[in-house]
Chain A
Amino acid sequence: MGEYIDFCRRLLESLQEVAAYIQITDENDKLIARTWDGQPDKVLADTSKSILQEPFMVLPGVVWHIAVAAHDNSSDHSTILLQSIKAALQAAAQYISLAGARSREELMVKELLSPAGDSRHDNTILISNLKQSGLDVTQSRAVILLDLEEEVNRYFNIHLDLGYDASSEKAKAETIQMIKANRHITKQDIVASYGANQIVIIKAFMEITEQGRIYRALDRVCETILNEMETSKIFAVRLAYGSLCDDFADIRQSYQEAKLLIQLGMTFLGRNGLYKYEDLLAEYITYNLPDRMLVKTLRPLADKLKQKGDTGDEELLYIVETYINDNFNLTETSRKLYLHRNTVAGKVEKYKKITGLDPGERYLDALLTKILAIYMRLCAAGMK
């Protein structure tokens, strides 16, 4: 609003030489700007003056007034002047509102995703701002996170800078507009840029009893966004979403979950696109294991493999993990890894001796081996 008030004042300053008294007041009749100094009320109280007054919309539901009285008392002059000023004020209101819309959403997202201890994080003010923006704060919401990577142009095996960096901000803004135009995105959803290479969608849903349908709907929404973005070829995209939350205070948690899924997807799935929770279930659980499980069980097992594994811990573990994934079928594992069947059997035996785990015989040992393999990859990726 401050920017708009400044505009009103500057506009009337520039009209001070015009032969008319012009005044702008807000919805509470408070003076915003006028073209003359001194004895202001005397001018408006002068009954000999023909004063034209008209309302104009600053924001939806917020109406201010312009009053114009031409020095020569000509109603024609006053009308022309009044209509011209009204047109300028309405155009400016629209422009400032449009320009502000993007930054408003960005600020909103920044507020919602800032850590709880952050001084900026005042929930009452935040909720009030969200309501003022027309958002229904009672709806459940989940964060859909898009991690963008610019498609790099490589010709003849060298990296040519074709000037796309300069336009990446524009491309990102266009991507946001494309997402906002998606068939499943409504005005209850917040879409904004976050950080250098992320776009956050805070997707709203009306309450239904079957929450599973909402998560299936989130899959569908992500898939349609991904399809549209893949056709644009501007960015390589990785998408994930977090849990549904009933409270805006939990939005950050939903964002963190989505962010973690993207990190895990990049590490384990080796592709771009949509990373679903169920595709990364074991990885997600392993990442979130309590510390006591790490220090008491996983790290000692990893240490044993490092100390005694003459072919390298990762390779041995990889063979055993494949054997588990193949439903303990030695033939299938040997075929897949181009190893002799007896070699695979020997590696499994060796693993049993080193770790004390017998994945072929005990379910919990198989589960622990799988978790150990994921844990080692998380460590190698610097995530643990």
Chain B
Amino acid sequence: MDYRTITSEAERNSMMRKANLTGKERVLAVLSGLEVDSLPVLNPTSLITFENMQRTGCHFPQAHLDADKIAALAATGYTVLGFDSIMPYFSLHLEAAALGCNIDWGNPDRLPAVLEYPLKEAGDFKMPANFLDRRPVKALLTAIRSVKQKYGARVAIIGKVVGPWTLAYHLYGAAHFLMDVILEPAKVQKILHDLKQVPVMFAAAQIEAGADIITWCDHAIDHLVSRQTYQDYLLPIHKECAVQLGKTPVILHVCGNVLDRLDLFAQTGFAAFHLDSRNSIPEALKLAGKMQVTGNLNNPRLLLNGSAEDVRAAVHSVIRDGIQLISPECGLPIRMTNANLIEIVKAARMYTNAREAL
């Protein structure tokens, strides 16, 4: 039954709370603004731990480019950790690699990095006709099809794209691109206009391959970019891309303190925002309006170094503060143990059980 066809919101919420939903249904319901029987736990960004690499025998860097390894490793988010989602894109570099960046793919402990920036002038970018067939892109699409087939009925499959701003950092170099923002606004407009087709095309392909949700990473972070710059350059593009991606929920991910611009993110039309732990949840919720907010569980202090009790208390605290979609704040440090991640899921379920008991 499609709960969205029931017109009364109260009736819909009541049915959703009573229903015995799958993890996937819970995630999608909350993203649609509905209340659910049990709060879902998801990962808009990478959930890969060294422990799970050992468990599956799929290690970085091969697991960035080999579809079978990507799928096997991503699946541990559900099969081992119990999250309600699977997200098979573990870095930020697949598009950049497919567009000609020379990438150091790192090692099991280190994530990839761009070694050289291939573009300089605004007109230098040309969208390759075979973009979707290039190895890094094709590997992810194949991996999404694979996890969708095996787990797609139970968990939400989350795809991920790098937005034009972050892509410009990779292709032009962050320092040069940010200098262009000051000196050559027309060049920046042209670059963003050209690059926006990359995430839209890649997201559409991931949706076609089976992604239920797309995470959109665009690092308009406050240490590099002012609110005004986001508003002038990127907000119109985000609005346009949100329309182009249609009904598929998009989770916007921007690291750092975003309270000075979260009201602008709320205007994009994206369904949710992935929040760093440096932000106050009540403030964020006020600014986000109808946009859902997820995240805020601190990675280094809480999930890497905290105890199970700390994790439990933090999960219960974010729920009490109003978070409906439980998730870590950002891509995980690889050496994090599985125990604290499993504890997030347990704590969310425990909270639900306690609520039901009342």
A contacts, CB < 8 Å to B = 53-57, 60-61, 63, 65, 83, 90, 94, 134, 136, 181-188, 205-208, 213-214, 216-217, 220-221
Contact = CB atoms under 8 A, between A and B. Distances in A.
A66 to B, nearest CB: 11
Contacts of B283: 94
Most buried by B among A57, A136, A207: A57
A221 B228 CA distance: 14
Interface stretch (B132-140, B205-213, B311-319): B311-319
B358 to A, nearest CB: 10
B226 A183 contact: yes
Contacts of A56: 317
Contact of A216 (B183, B228, B310): B183
Nearest to B306: A63
A254 to B, nearest CB: 18
A242 B148 CA distance: 58
Interchain residue pairs A-B with the least CB separation, the first 4:
A206-B175, A183-B228, A60-B278, A217-B182
B85 interface: no
Most buried by B among A55, A136, A216, A220: A55
A53 B309 CA distance: 11
A217 B180 CA distance: 9
Contacts of B228: 181-183
Contact of A134 (B179, B182, B223, B224): B223
Chain B interface secondary structure, helix, strand, loop or mixed? helix
B176 to A, nearest CB: 6
B6 interface: no
Contact of B183 (A61, A65, A220): A220
Nearest to B181: A184
Interface in B273-331: 277-280, 282-283, 298, 300-302, 310, 313-314, 316-317, 320
B178 interface: yes
28 contacts: A55-B310, A55-B314, A55-B317, A61-B277, A61-B300, A61-B301, A63-B298, A63-B301, A63-B302, A136-B223, A181-B227, A183-B226, A183-B229, A184-B182, A184-B226, A186-B222, A186-B223, A186-B224, A186-B226, A187-B223, A205-B175, A206-B174, A206-B175, A208-B173, A208-B175, A208-B176, A216-B183, A220-B182
B313 A53 contact: yes
Contacts of B174: 206
Nearest to A180: B226
B120 to A, nearest CB: 11
B225 interface: yes
A211 B329 CA distance: 36
A312 B298 CA distance: 75
A55 B183 contact: no
A55 to B, nearest CB: 5
Interface in B154-179: 173-176, 178-179
Contacts, number: 76
B267 to A, nearest CB: 18
Given A83-B320, A181-B228, A186-B225, 15 more contacts: A54-B313, A55-B310, A60-B279, A61-B277, A61-B300, A63-B302, A63-B314, A65-B313, A136-B223, A181-B226, A183-B232, A186-B223, A186-B224, A208-B173, A214-B179
B179 A187 contact: no
Given A187-B257, A220-B182, A61 B314 contact: no
Contacts of B182: 184, 217, 220-221
Given A181-B228, A206-B175, A213-B183, A60 B223 contact: no
A41 B183 CA distance: 63
A214 B175 CA distance: 10
Interface in B91-105: none
Contacts of B278: 60-61
Contacts of A188: 223-224
Nearest to B173: A208
A22 to B, nearest CB: 17
Contacts of A63: 298, 301-302, 314
A270 B278 CA distance: 48
A185 B222 CA distance: 9
Contacts of A90: 280, 282
Nearest to A134: B223
Contacts of B183: 213, 216-217, 220
B280 A94 contact: yes
A25 to B, nearest CB: 12
Given A54-B316, A55-B313, A181-B227, A60 B222 contact: no
Contacts of A60: 257, 277-279
A216 B175 CA distance: 14
Contacts of A216: 183
B311 to A, nearest CB: 10
A55 B278 CA distance: 15
A54 B317 contact: yes
A142 to B, nearest CB: 13
B175 A187 contact: no
A56 B277 CA distance: 12
A272 to B, nearest CB: 23
A176 to B, nearest CB: 15
Nearest to A188: B223
Nearest to A27: B301
Contacts of A220: 182-183
A228 B332 CA distance: 42
B186 to A, nearest CB: 14
Given A90-B280, A183-B232, A188-B223, A208 B179 contact: yes
